[in-house]
Amino acid sequence: MTTEPLSRTILLLDIERFSDRDDVEQAYLRRMLYSIADRTLEAAGVDETVRLRADRGDSVMELIEAGVSVRELLRTLLREVPDQLRAVNRMASSSAQMRLRVVLATGWVAVDELEGWVGADLNHACRLLDAAVLRDALKERADDFALCVSESVYAGIVRHNHPGIAAEEFTQVTMDSKNGPLAAWLYGPAPSGSGETDSVAAERDSEPGQADARATAREADGPGTAKDADTRAGAQTDASAPAAGSRFDGGRIRGDNNGVSAGQIVGNISFGGRGER
């Protein structure tokens, strides 16, 4: 019988290229993984009494009670996991080097009578961990750590720019899964060719011609303020509307006019150079 679903924080850590190692190396990597997980959770103030652990061989899953601070956990992950990896890898042979993919998510999870974990949010987190975007991000990183957070963690924690958690250092990405695309936030830049989405840039350049206008302004005028770029961009997008004193094929229109074809024209109009008005 499955228990009532409860709000939980979900933490997943997975070792890269685990199956490529022999039995001795795998045993060593598992010990180091558990050590890093324990030290990180301890540093975040997550006591053993408020978390459950599931072993997946090459990875570990932590189910943490909702009362634990997600903000402090994320801040500690960003600091402690890279430090712990550097310490471990500094003393390890090249064949025993460890690199980790990490996912932090929140959601509703139930624990059944077999001590199994059940929940759509848990499935979502596992798919983020296995997604190609996160794997590729780790491959392109100079360090040994790639972290992804769910939309709920970004919305509730990251975007508020708490100390030690810089929102601008996270990149929105879309990950493929068998149930369709999943939106998430990657710490650091997205890997090349990942189909990333940058919500800030998308909003800024959403109007037709805005991105091209900014690029043209930068090339023509050199560095300038964002306000200047916006002004030039707006001028370019409104270029289709004739302004007072604009020239068309050798002619000039002045004054107020309401349409040229079957409309009213008030003021001066001349075409063809010095012809009659």
Q: What is the CATH number of the domain that holds 138?
A: 3.30.70.1230
Q: Are residues 106 and 216 in the same domain?
A: no
Q: Are 246 and 253 in contact (CB under 8 A)?
A: yes
pTM above 0.75, yes or no: no
Q: Are residues 131 and 221 in the same domain?
A: no
Q: Are residues 80 and 141 in the same domain?
A: yes
Q: 253 in a domain, yes or no? A: no
Average pLDDT, the chain: 78
Question: Distance between the two ends of the chain, CA-based, in angstroms?
Answer: 92
pLDDT bracket for residue 237 (50, 70, 90): very low
Q: Are 29 and 98 in contact (CB under 8 A)?
A: yes
Classify the phi-psi angles of 262: left when phi > 0, otherwise alpha if psi is within -120 to 50, otherwise beta: left
Mean pLDDT across the stretch 59-84? Answer: 96
Q: Are residues 215 and 154 in the same domain?
A: no
pLDDT of 195 reads 52
Q: 246 in a domain, yes or no? A: no
Q: Are residues 48 and 135 in the same domain?
A: yes
Q: Are residues 219 and 84 in the same domain?
A: no
Domain's final residue, options 146, 167, 197: 197
Q: 44 in a domain, yes or no? A: yes
pLDDT of 179 reads 73
Which one-letter amino acid corresponds to residue 208? Answer: P
Q: Are 46 and 38 in contact (CB under 8 A)?
A: no
Q: 181 in a domain, yes or no? A: yes
pLDDT bracket for residue 151 (50, 70, 90): very high
Q: 81 in a domain, yes or no? A: yes
Domain that holds residue 27: 6-197
Is pLDDT above 80 for 232? no
Q: 16 in a domain, yes or no? A: yes
Q: 149 in a domain, yes or no? A: yes
pLDDT bracket for residue 240 (50, 70, 90): very low
Q: Are residues 63 and 161 in the same domain?
A: yes
CA distance 202 to 4: 40
Number of folded domains in the chain?
2
pLDDT bracket for residue 1 (50, 70, 90): low
Mean pLDDT across the stretch 47-69? Answer: 94
Q: Are residues 152 and 227 in the same domain?
A: no
Q: 213 in a domain, yes or no? A: yes
pLDDT of 20 reads 92
Token representation of residue 95: 């064949």
Mean pLDDT across the stretch 211-218? Answer: 40
Is pLDDT above 70 for 198? no
pLDDT bracket for residue 194 (50, 70, 90): low
Q: Are residues 104 and 231 in the same domain?
A: no
Residue with tokens 């909702």: 66
Span 112-131, pLDDT tens digits: 877 789 999 999 999 999 99
Q: Are residues 220 and 127 in the same domain?
A: no
Mean pLDDT across the stretch 175-180? Answer: 78
Nearest to 145 by CA among 108, 203, 93, 101: 101
Q: Are residues 82 and 190 in the same domain?
A: yes
Q: Are residues 159 and 213 in the same domain?
A: no
CA distance 175 to 229: 33
Which one-letter amino acid corresponds to residue 47? Answer: D
